[in-house]
Structure 1
């Protein structure tokens, strides 16, 4: 079980804090090492450029050594390597807490190492509730994110030796009082995902699922379809590549067909289309919303995570489907303007300005 990080108690009246509105399930805490690189370095990294596939610790260390030895000159980059708390769910939860003022917490585990301390410090700084984060003896997950000059990323996660929260670690107390559970599909976390969904439904929470990557959909489609067809997923996010993989064996594998398929099983279905914006469906309503054209792409890391962040903010505010998508487009546009999956204060201000210009409700940090 490991040692749990104890929740903060309000000593003034000796009562437990109010449960966060939104919880994220990320079984293994993760630290991202993000660097701007060119093809001369990418050619020395094992595997194809682009996409994401897991590596062993020795491979991770080799890549980090290559990055640290690499001499890059860029006027926008004063530091060669940026290390921050990472992971898709952590990106979404941190964005909701930091940029939208939504009370959020994270369920998972981190190791008793330097990376674990960094993860805790980063998420705490952004006011994420860590009372459900277990501290266990062992290593915290790490991922190298290499960003080329076009903003495309090559990701190499190392999770094989990372500590993680297990299905039997979860209790009703982890989810009691919250309204939403945010998750990312991963077959190696399927048991804990299923356990969390079961408890979430018993406690009356709505569930959001991101399809993670086209590789994950392609290799593990059967358990994914079973999860969707269970009717337990309330919101599903897929990008264009994931949508195509979802219907690869069918005559129509376009985003619109994937949207219709997802909408049969989920209350809200969203397919993001990169620079072409997104399409979404809720009940009989279908909307198409363009991307924010004013956003300059520096690094695509976290774009989908922050889109989900804005969309979920719209849902908890009771906004229309189109408004949810438009806010998602603004928040997704904010993170791609700098390196890594964490939005800078300057880019949050950029987002608020975009929202004001488009007549969208700017966060009041009262949720």
Structure 2
């Protein structure tokens, strides 16, 4: 028996979201639609430049855990915050979603991570992230019994930036596989892929990771190609199961020679793409751990992604379980 469907591991971040135009990004040296790592000084500088902002607990894997819970799945989360106001906000928010979260903070410095997210009129988000307390996540924060009792342990590629987190992930993978569980990762960002391409490929080819999530830009970066078909064939050979999201074109799920094309949810207006990939993973894994067919899992992912991009913030504001029931997927 498993106690949890999905355990997610990631950088525990509070998102501070504000609107801007493309000119603002250019004037302030912000790479559009990417995650830019920044230091404390630049974090303060960008925060001072922000217009009216919306604060929401985020972090890629935290968003995925919240999404799994919204589908009615049993979710757990590992991620490091500090004993400060933003840390309290993060812990409260994720527990309020019904997610098991017991990672202990260690004092007030470094402070809880925060990401200044600038959303342009086209809905694209450009993230500027100060990792703060996240960099202290290490093997000592692993709860072995939670890993052993989770059907799938999922982690974000961003964790390859803080070095000690790698040790924690490898320990989780060892425990998961010893207990007959599966391990999943998201490639997170094309620039992240560029930094760790060889290591990510090794994780897949060695069997450390069983399920891979990527978007179009990430999978093209992984295989250093401009041809999506080439990338899809490669990832099908390198991983047991892979999901590639394609924005308004939906997603493709590949497992060996099997391939499923999933249509995107029809929506009127994209408000904020923050969390779209995270919620796709949530929907897919909620379906996968419930034993649903891969095409249905993909449809659950596209449903969740389509819902979250219609409002501000990275976490669902409606019951995804109810939405899935209305769509005939649950």
State whether TM-score is above 0.5. Answer: yes
Please tell me whether residue 126 in structure 1 is matched to residue 102 in structure 2. Answer: no
Matching residue of 1:33:
16
Unaligned stretches of 5+ residues in structure 2: none
Following superposition of structure 1 onto structure 2, how do residues 71-220 of structure 1 map, counting pairs within 5 Å?
A: 80-97=52-69, 99-131=70-102, 133-137=103-107, 138=109, 139-160=111-132, 162=134, 164-186=136-158, 187-188=160-161, 189-220=165-196
**Residue 163 and residue 285 in structure 1: after superposition, are their counterparts in 2 closer, same or farther (change >3 A)?**
closer
Following superposition of structure 1 onto structure 2, how do residues 47-66 of structure 1 map, counting pairs within 5 Å?
A: 47-66=30-49
Please tell me whether residue 280 in structure 1 is matched to residue 253 in structure 2. Answer: yes
**Residue 295 and residue 352 in structure 1: after superposition, are their counterparts in 2 closer, same or farther (change >3 A)?**
farther
- The question of whether the paired residues in 1 share the 8 Å contact of 2:15 and 2:116 is answered with yes
Could you say what secondary structure the match of 2:295 adopts? helix
For 1:295-330, what per-residue CA distance to the aligned partner results, in whole angstroms no more than 9, with x for missing partners?
521011110110111111111121111111111111
Q: How far is the alpha carbon of 1:51 from its aligned partner?
A: 1.4
Please tell me whether residue 260 in structure 1 is matched to residue 233 in structure 2. Answer: yes
Could you say what secondary structure the match of 1:111 adopts? coil
- The question of whether the paired residues in 2 share the 8 Å contact of 1:303 and 1:335 is answered with yes
Please tell me whether residue 327 in structure 1 is matched to residue 300 in structure 2. Answer: yes
Matching residue of 2:198:
222
Distance in 2, Cα, partners of 1:48 & 1:294:
27
Distance in 2, Cα, partners of 1:180 & 1:203:
11
Distance in 2, Cα, partners of 1:88 & 1:278:
19
Root mean square deviation, CA, Å: 2.0
Distance in 1, Cα, partners of 2:41 & 2:136:
20
Give the stretch that moved more between structures: 44-53 or 175-184. 44-53
Q: How far is the alpha carbon of 1:206 from its aligned partner?
A: 0.9
For 1:153-199, what per-residue CA distance to the aligned partner results, in whole angstroms no more than 9, with x for missing partners?
11100015645321244352342322110111132233322222112
Distance in 2, Cα, partners of 1:354 & 1:177:
26
For 1:108-134, what per-residue CA distance to the aligned partner results, in whole angstroms no more than 9, with x for missing partners?
221111110010111111111113x12
- The question of whether the paired residues in 2 share the 8 Å contact of 1:287 and 1:322 is answered with yes
Distance in 2, Cα, partners of 1:294 & 1:154:
22
Matching residue of 1:22:
6
- The question of whether the paired residues in 2 share the 8 Å contact of 1:295 and 1:334 is answered with no
TM-score, structure 1 as length reference: 0.82
Could you say what secondary structure the match of 1:110 adopts? coil
Distance in 2, Cα, partners of 1:161 & 1:93:
20
Distance in 1, Cα, partners of 2:146 & 2:136:
15
Could you say what secondary structure the match of 2:259 adopts? strand
Distance in 2, Cα, partners of 1:39 & 1:225:
34
Question: How many aligned residue pairs are there?
Answer: 323
TM-score, structure 2 as length reference: 0.91
Could you say what secondary structure the match of 1:220 adopts? helix
Matching residue of 1:74:
none
More helix by share: 2
Following superposition of structure 1 onto structure 2, how do residues 294-309 of structure 1 map, counting pairs within 5 Å?
A: 294=267, 296-309=269-282
Distance in 2, Cα, partners of 1:231 & 1:304:
23
Aligned counterpart in structure 1 of residue 217 of structure 2, from 229, 241, 248 = 241
- The question of whether the paired residues in 1 share the 8 Å contact of 2:283 and 2:304 is answered with yes
